[in-house]
Structure 1
Amino acid sequence: MKVVFDDRYRIVYDTDPAAAPGRIDCIVDELKGLYEFVKPRPAAESDILLVHSKDHLEHIKNRELLYDIALLAAGGAIKAAELAVQGEPAFALIRPPGHHASRDSCWGFCWFNNIAIAVEKLRTQGLVKKVLIVDIDLHFGDGTNNIFEKNPDVFYYHLYNLKGLEQCLSVNTDCELVAVSAGFDMHVQDWGCVLSTEDYTTIGRMISGHARKVCNGRFFAVLEGGYNHRVLGKNVRALLQGFEG
């Protein structure tokens, strides 16, 4: 398991909770020394335009610091996806998050849809065709769903409980890649007050087990939400431990 990371993700680029100081640091502190960290390159404009309109890109471009970090976040997701198709599962420790970003709009601390960009780049390169996206964030990834809702080859699933995840995996047996929007705000000490830290290990084990069974272990994850800095790093570590089986 590799972790895609750049120190520039620590930059406080906005005033929202996803951009808060210390949020990325608490995760790095938990993972450093346990996993190999690899650096991404910023996404190109052509990558962004795979799922977003030119008008949307130009709108974000007007905020220079945010734009630069958002390109780097999308690039981090792309790097994780590229590692995954090479048989090396990866976690993109990135921000801003992305699953609320649609083709022409965005909200919820998201600007570019990182996971959608990464998935569509692999698909346009012919590296994969059918992809399962599992979103474990507290909030429904309306942007991801909007981008792929008319595409029969990309299935979006939002986690409500572990039984539902089990059912989702049982019917998605022909995917060539599993992509995970890894939000942690459903934790009992975060906004959602639902999942335990141990549940993230279980989720990771279920997803990685499915990927090993149906698509040669090709899966990756990208950071979405999660706002309680006291438990966020531990929850990310729990998910990655589950990914390792």
Structure 2
Amino acid sequence: MEQLLVPSLPILRGRMLPLLKHCCAFGTHHLLTWGSIFQTSGREQKQIRSWSAQCSANYDRASVPEKDSPLKNLTLHDNSLLDARILYCTSPALGHNKEAHPESNKRVPAIVDALEKLELSPKHRGSQVLEIQNFNPASLDDVARVHSKSYITGLEKAMSKAADEGLILIEGTGPTYATETTFQESLLSAGAGITLVDSVVAASKLGPNPPLGFALVRPPGHHAVPRGPMGFCVFGNIAVAARYAQHQYGLKRVMIIDFDVHHGNGTSDAFYDDPDIFFLSTHQLGSYPGTGKIDEVGQGDGEGTTLNLPLPGGAGDYAMRCAFDEAIAPSAQRFKPDIILVSAGYDAHALDPLAGLQFTTGTFYMLASSIKQLAKELCGGRCIFFLEGGYNLQTLSSSVANTFRAFLDEPSLAAQLDDPAMLYEEPTRKIKEAIAKAKGIHSL
């Protein structure tokens, strides 16, 4: 038996949380525990700030390399964590805001409100849906595995200027702004992803069906390049989590699926020559930032581990069903990832103001359900979604809610949420040609 001393706790919200006892998960830069945590039934919340737990090993069905793993010698003395189907973190970055900007601080609260309204929150779902609160920000070392130290220190120094001026631009082309809270709030959003890696990996060691994770965070991350911000994005949240999963848990082979309407150029740049991270992006042809050509496949040792599938304007549910069946699933099955991370952009919705695709809440349900099944088949169910784009608050929040429904294996709400009258015929010939070309380039 090994005694593990835990000095501080994140918080899990849900009615059944008093039953979560003695389950521990530890990361290098912060400690995660489940046990004697928070009750949120309207009474005054009480937190136990230090405790000790004894853990012993008897379950290792999910194959996670043990090198440098803090998950050794753990057992679950209560079934509550095993009951969880979704673990999520929210980081709304309320101080990082610019009036009338599409990437506003209203985005995450709108999602949280929709989860409550549609009875998908911990309040309504008990131990099925758990929110991790009071998690730590990413460390500078975590972020420096993806971004240059000069960028990180430069952004931190720029906070004093932002405090004086109220708002500054931190990218030459203009769309990425900063306020005096941007640096710390961006670290917190990256920390949410790290926390969920810790949590999902811990759960995968305790049972065969770990919960899916969802980092409901902003600012988004997939445009942020190693040397700086770009396209509303400050730090590459999903890229930081990918490197952390490799470094902390030995999850060498990471697959990143990006279905945002815009190409995730920052994520692509970070791993373009890395054979151990497969980056697959579907995005609207010709959209911002103009990268993600179909013949961009990686370079050097990473040649073949980047797959770009630009879709013609007007592509929608048919296109993504075909893309999943003919490109995403075969790529994952061949790559055999140890964990799947998803850049979940909801700006491909037909009513989103910044794009021209025709996804619906039903499309996002299909993607979530299909990716969940893929993770279950290939990597012990280890899968985490990261919020990227989505700028129509109503369609963003309803689409995330439908994603939660897919995670829970409950029927889609698309019939209630989607209006077929908003759709027009998809350009099927162009869609088939694009998928066929991608399959040919990658020998799928």
TM-score bracket, shorter-length normalisation: over 0.9
Q: Secondary structure at the match of 2:341?
A: strand
Query: Which stretch shows the higher mean deviation, 74-83 or 89-98?
Result: 74-83
Query: Which stretch shows the higher mean deviation, 22-31 or 130-139?
Result: 22-31
Among residues 152, 158, 164, which one is paired with 2:323 in the alignment? 164
Instruction: Provide the rounded CA distance (Å) in 2 between the counterparts of 1:126 and 1:228.
Output: 37
Paired letter, 1:13: H
2:357 matches 1:241: no
Instruction: Provide the rounded CA distance (Å) in 2 between the counterparts of 1:4 and 1:47.
Output: 18
1:5 paired residue number = 90
Contact 2:95 2:181 in 1 (8 A): no
Paired letter, 2:154: H
Q: Structure 2: which 5+ residue stretches go unaligned?
A: 1-85, 160-179, 205-210, 283-310, 312-318, 410-444
Among residues 325, 336, 342, which one is paired with 1:180 in the alignment? 342
Matches within 5 A, 1:185-224: 185-190=347-352, 191-192=354-355, 193-224=357-388
Calculate percent identity across the aligned residue pairs: 31
Contact 2:225 2:236 in 1 (8 A): yes
Give 1:10 shift.
4.7
Query: Which stretch shows the higher mean deviation, 150-159 or 84-93?
Result: 84-93
Instruction: Provide the rounded CA distance (Å) in 2 between the counterparts of 1:49 and 1:172.
Output: 28
Instruction: Provide the rounded CA distance (Å) in 1 between the counterparts of 2:130 and 2:183.
Output: 27
Q: Secondary structure at the match of 1:172?
A: helix
1:37 paired residue number = 131
1:98 paired residue number = 221
- What do residues 197-244 of structure 1 show as CA deviations (whole Å, max 9, x unaligned)? 111100001100000011111100111110001221110111222233
2:257 paired residue number = 134
Q: Secondary structure at the match of 2:243?
A: helix
2:102 paired residue number = 17
Instruction: Provide the rounded CA distance (Å) in 2 between the counterparts of 1:126 and 1:168.
Output: 25
- What do residues 132-176 of structure 1 show as CA deviations (whole Å, max 9, x unaligned)? 100111100000000011001100111244222222222222111
1:58 paired residue number = 153
Judging by fraction of residues, say which structure has more helix: 1
Give 1:17 shift.
2.0
Instruction: Provide the rounded CA distance (Å) in 2 between the counterparts of 1:37 and 1:84.
Output: 13
Among residues 238, 241, 244, which one is paired with 1:118 in the alignment? 241
Give 1:14 shift.
3.1
**Which structure would you say has the larger Rg?**
2
Q: Secondary structure at the match of 2:343?
A: strand
- What do residues 105-153 of structure 1 show as CA deviations (whole Å, max 9, x unaligned)? 2211101000000110110124301011001111000000000110011
TM-score after normalising by structure 1 = 0.94
Contact 1:204 1:241 in 2 (8 A): no
Give 1:21 shift.
3.8
Give 1:98 shift.
0.3
2:442 paired residue number = none
2:236 matches 1:152: no
Give 1:31 shift.
2.0
The higher relative CO (CA closer than 8 Å, separation ≥ 6) is in 1
Contact 1:3 1:93 in 2 (8 A): yes
Give 1:194 shift.
1.5
Q: Structure 1: which 5+ residue stretches go unaligned?
A: none
Contact 1:208 1:244 in 2 (8 A): no
Q: Secondary structure at the match of 1:189?
A: coil
Give 1:85 shift.
1.9
Change (3 A) 1:96 1:212: same
Paired letter, 1:199: T
2:162 matches 1:46: no
Contact 2:194 2:241 in 1 (8 A): yes
Query: Which stretch shows the higher mean deviation, 149-158 or 81-90?
Result: 81-90
Among residues 179, 183, 186, which one is paired with 1:70 in the alignment? 186
2:200 matches 1:84: yes
Instruction: Provide the rounded CA distance (Å) in 1 between the counterparts of 2:219 and 2:366.
Output: 26
Contact 2:96 2:105 in 1 (8 A): no
Q: Secondary structure at the match of 2:279?
A: strand
TM-score after normalising by structure 2 = 0.53
Paired letter, 2:193: A
Give 1:99 shift.
0.3
2:60 paired residue number = none
Instruction: Provide the rounded CA distance (Å) in 2 between the counterparts of 1:136 and 1:83.
Output: 24
Contact 1:85 1:127 in 2 (8 A): no
Q: What is the aligned-residue RMSD (CA, Å)?
A: 1.5
